[in-house]
Amino acid sequence: MYSKKAMKPLAALALAGLVSACGGSGSDDPIPSVPPVSQAEFEVSVVNLTNNQPLSPVALVAHSGDFRVFTIGSPASQGLEVLAEGGSNEDFVEAARTDASVITIVSGAGPIGPGGSEVLSFSVPESDAASLSVSLATMLVNTNDAFTGTNSLDISSLAVGASQTMRGIAYDAGTEADSEAAGTIPGPAVGGEGFNAERDDNADQVTMHPGVISNQDGLANSVLTSQERFDNPVVQISVTRTL
C-alpha cells in the first residue's frame, strides 16, 4: 500500500505534465510569417518637346481596365476641364481615385519647362502587372485649354529593363474659347485666371488642338506671340520597368 508521503511527488509530476500539455512551452514555437507582396516597379519619363509651352504638373494614373483621360468627340470631364484651363491636376486626381480600375496615382513635382523633363516612379503588386496600363494628362499652360497625354498605354508586356516610348499630340478640351486674350491664359506668357467654370467654347467636346495663332499671325487681340506656337508632337513619354 502506498503511503500519503509517496503520493505527493507523483501528483506533482502529473500536474507538471498537464501544464506542458496545455502549451506551457508554446513560447518556443516559431511565429508564422506573412510573405512580402512581390512588387513590379516602373519609371515614366516625360519630355517637353515644345519651344515655349511649359507643361503643368503631370497627373499619372496606373490602372487596369479601360480608364480614359478623355474621349475624342465627347465633353471633357470636370477634372480634365480644370486641368486643361488652369493647370491644376487636383480635381482630376481626386476623380481618378474613385475609379475601381485605378491602382495608383502619381503627381508631378511641378511644371516642366520647354525642353525639360521629369521622371516619375511608381510600383504595383506583381499580380497587377500582367494587366497594367498608364494614362497621363498635362496642360500646355500658354494656351486657353490645350492639354496632352495618353489614354491607357498598355505596359503589361514590359520585361524588367525594357522600355516603351510614345509621342503625344496637343488636344483641345473644348471648354474655353481659344481667344488667346489677356486674362484668359494662366501661363507665364500672360498670367491670367486659368480655370473658369463657364464653358464658352461652342464645341464642348475634346478635339485635336488647332494650334496657337498669336498676334504676329493675324489675331489682333492675342497676347501670345509666335514663340508660343507649337507643332505636334508636343510630349515624349517613355515607360521603363525597373524591377
Evaluate whether residue 19 is within a structural domain: no
Evaluate whether residue 226 is within a structural domain: yes
Q: Which residues, 6+ apart, have CB-to-CB distance to 144 below 8 Å?
A: 85, 176, 177, 178, 179, 180, 184, 185
Residue 199: its pLDDT value, please? 92
Q: What is the pTM of this model?
A: 0.84
Evaluate whether residue 26 is within a structural domain: no
Residue numbers of the domain that contains 191: 39-237
171-194 burial by CB neighbour count: b if 16+ within 10 A, else e? Answer: bbbbbbebbbbeebbbbebbebeb
Residue 196: its pLDDT value, please? 87
Domains of the chain: total: 1
Taking every pair of C-alpha atoms in the chain, what is the biggest distance, in angstroms? 124
Q: What is the CATH number of the domain that holds 160?
A: 2.60.40.2130
Evaluate whether residue 128 is within a structural domain: yes
Residue with cell 479601360: 66
In three state form, how does the secondary structure of 173-204 look?
Answer: CCCCCCCCCCCCCCCCCCCCCCCCCCCCCCCC
pLDDT in tens, the chain (243 residues): 434 444 444 444 444 443 444 444 455 667 777 667 799 999 999 999 999 999 999 999 999 988 999 999 999 999 999 999 999 999 999 999 999 999 999 999 999 999 999 999 999 999 999 999 999 999 999 999 999 999 999 999 999 999 999 999 999 999 999 999 999 999 999 888 889 888 998 889 999 999 999 999 999 999 999 999 999 999 999 999 999
Query: Which class for 89: exposed (0-12), middle (13-18), buried (19 or more C-beta within 10 A)?
Result: buried
Evaluate whether residue 22 is within a structural domain: no
Residue 18: its pLDDT value, please? 39
Residue 194: its pLDDT value, please? 85
Q: What are the residues facing 203 on neighbouring strands?
A: none
Evaluate whether residue 94 is within a structural domain: yes
Evaluate whether residue 5 is within a structural domain: no
Evaluate whether residue 55 is within a structural domain: yes
